[in-house]
Structure 1
């Protein structure tokens, strides 16, 4: 299977299946000298792990990460970093029935079309559990970015029809609400809506917003390696993400140029924008303002109500899916979006070191 590797200089390869012995990631290209322990990575995995709230799958996984290589005496050595996350709560029998049919909204049919074979236990590599490796790698990337003064923060901005009020934004609520909404009133409203969905044996989708602060202007490339294009690819690679916006995004299509353009002003010898409709990226290159990205996530396809489908014998059948499933994917996807954004931005920063002669001469010239 191709397509499990991401990045150019800071490169990651995820491995493992939802119901295999373990999942993990190998990170190549991490510079030597970064202080790193499992304690730096675990908080990110704790935000993603299942079984923590009434709106996540009841599957209980500790998601304890272990560093197998690339770290010595608490610091990275510059060699590949291998991270492993054991699976401890597989119930593969919950999925034995689906081996004979294709679940609506899942990758069952497309996997069979491509490989002629699939791991039906929780979806194998197409399971949301695959993202554990991404999150572990993203934690390392985020720590490197913090050393550079760059931070990445994601949160739930909408669940179903309920959206947050940015005037009520509280960063701490991202980590304390079940929805990861930074607005207490919106969180309560969303929880009531989700309860209704669950009672009706249904699910819902939503939006994750991600803000990148501290990224200087000049990061990214103007043609095929645009920063916004690479961020979109990274986030779209997350299962269940169906659309990505940068800045005003979809609203820009209905705006006039006079309203959509961000005016430039100078102050104390620096150029800044008076607005940020562009979301921090112009011509594929960062402009020094906040980068604002939104990921639109579809409803969880595993629902307990009766659905129509087809089995491998080409018979039309009706099914009611069993097992343990999230009624909404959005809250657990928040840290995954954050991780993929961190990985993309860090890789772009590393690639940027070859953009100017000054960068090379400043280091090598004696």
Structure 2
């Protein structure tokens, strides 16, 4: 399916080298002022060509809204939008018409549909995430009015990793470097490392950490639509994502229950958790603490060096990719992670309201 969400939904369409990427957002609350500059800034954070460590494809990525907004406010009706593709180099992919690139969707799309758009990966291209960023920006406009904040940042590139609690870092530093890492020294090391990998025609993966603050308790739909399950599904739908963990995640298996339990206490007349190993979610429902999670991205599969593969007839061949590609997706993936998190939180906020008289 190409539709995401329950009450707040996004249906997206378009291919990497088609005329445009677009979408329809439904369930957007009415009367929300639409800050066009803010939405464009969110798209600019995802936009290619923004630094030397991302793809050099030049796109303005200007969003055009077609419906659902009147006199600067949402009307509650479906919001249609387009972002036109302007800088395709489709001829760079002529050699891929009958060749399956390793670890790409070329083979699987062909098996599923019997036909595929080979130009830049077609529908499977990460350019599809433009629609997610537009919808995520709209969701953020609502969440901001509710006092909910969504922050994501690069916490690991290859073996280079931030250590310690996310509370140690100043989120205002995230946008001050091209890697989107809140630690300036580590950001410089990451940037240099990505540049080195790029010069060798190779790629590298890493981790994006996301923190959602001031989420009210009670969001989540047990049993099969738990909040963390929805977040995991959203993150795993992003191109190149290979893993998701929330709270202590896999690291928590080293501890005993007596060390992991989040003890409740009362502070200023409010029940709170003394610790937050649970990552703000218990029993699939938010408990009012910060929600935090980590998303693992694999190294980009397109390498600018000779790689072995086969053609559509199964014959061995050697491929050297052309075109413009990211040596590391992390810097441009940060706003996509935020967008998906924002959509999930708003969707589940609206679901929670539907349970109340």
Shorter-chain TM-score category? over 0.9
Could you say which residue in structure 2 is the equivalent of 1:202? 202
Out of 31, 40, 43, the residue aligned to residue 42 of structure 1 is 40
Deviations 1:324-358 (A, max 9, x none): 00000011000000000000010000000133xxx
Q: Tell me how far apart the structure 2 counterparts of residues 310 and 45 of structure 1 sit (CA, whole Å).
A: 36
Structure 2: gaps of 5 or more residues = none
Q: Which residue, out of 150, 153, 165, partners 2:148?
A: 150
SS in structure 2 of the partner of residue 32 of structure 1:
coil
Give the CA deviation at 1:221: 1.8
The aligned residue for residue 162 of structure 1 is: 160
The 2-side partners of 1:7 and 1:353 are apart by: 15
* 1:133-175 CA distance string (max 9 Å, x none): 0000000000101111111111111111111255762323211
User: In structure 2, what is the equivalent of residue 173 of structure 1?
Assistant: 173
Aligned-partner SS, 1:348 = helix
What is the CA-CA distance between 1:210 and the residue it aligns to?
A: 0.6
Query: Does 1:57 find its partner at 2:90?
Result: no
Size of the alignment, in residue pairs? Answer: 355
CA distance in 2, matches of 1:168, 1:350: 32
Distance 1:168 1:270 in 2: 25
Question: Separation in 2 of the partners of 1:4 and 1:14?
Answer: 6
* d(CA) in 2 for partners of 1:254, 1:109: 39
Show structure 1 runs of 5+ residues with no match.
Answer: 361-366
Match of 1:133 in 2: 131
More deviation, 262-271/152-161: 262-271
Q: Is 1:331 matched up with 2:331?
A: yes
Q: What's 1:363 paired with? A: none
SS at match of 1:317: strand
Distance in 2 (CA, whole Å) between partners of 1:291 and 1:191 is 28
Q: Distance in 2 between matches of 1:51 and 1:312?
A: 32
Q: How does 1:1-366 map to 2 (within 5 A)?
A: 3-165=1-163, 169-355=169-355, 359-360=356-357
Query: 1:255, CA displacement in angstroms?
Result: 2.2
SS across alignment from 2:104: coil
C-alpha separation in 2, matches of 1:199 and 1:168: 33
The answer to whether the Cα contact below 8 Å between 1:164 and 1:182 also exists between their aligned partners in 2 is no
Instruction: Name the CA distance, whole Å, in 1 between partners of 2:28 and 2:168.
Output: 38
Cα distance in 1 for residues equivalent to 2:167 and 2:191: 20
- Tell me: CA distance 1:133–1:167, structure 2 relative to 1, closer, same or farther (3 Å): closer
**Is the contact between residue 150 and residue 213 of structure 1 (CA under 8 Å) also seen in structure 2?**
yes
Contact kept in structure 2, 1:22 and 1:86, CA below 8 Å:
yes
Contact 1:28 1:79 in 2 (8 A): yes
d(CA) in 1 for partners of 2:322, 2:38: 36
1:364 maps to what in 2? none
CA RMSD across the alignment? 1.2
Post-superposition CA distance 1:266-322 (Å, at most 9, x none): 122211111111100001000100000111000011111221111112111111111
Q: 1:311 & 1:53 partners in 2: Cα distance?
A: 34
Q: For 1:201 and 1:74, how far apart are their aligned partners in 2?
A: 46
Are the aligned partners of 1:32 and 1:78 in contact in 2 as well (CA < 8 Å)? yes
Q: Does the Cα contact within 8 Å between 1:38 and 1:65 map onto a contact in 2? A: no
Instruction: Report the Cα offset of residue 37 of structure 1.
Output: 4.3
Q: Write the distance in 1 (CA, Å) between the matches of 2:214 and 2:268.
A: 18
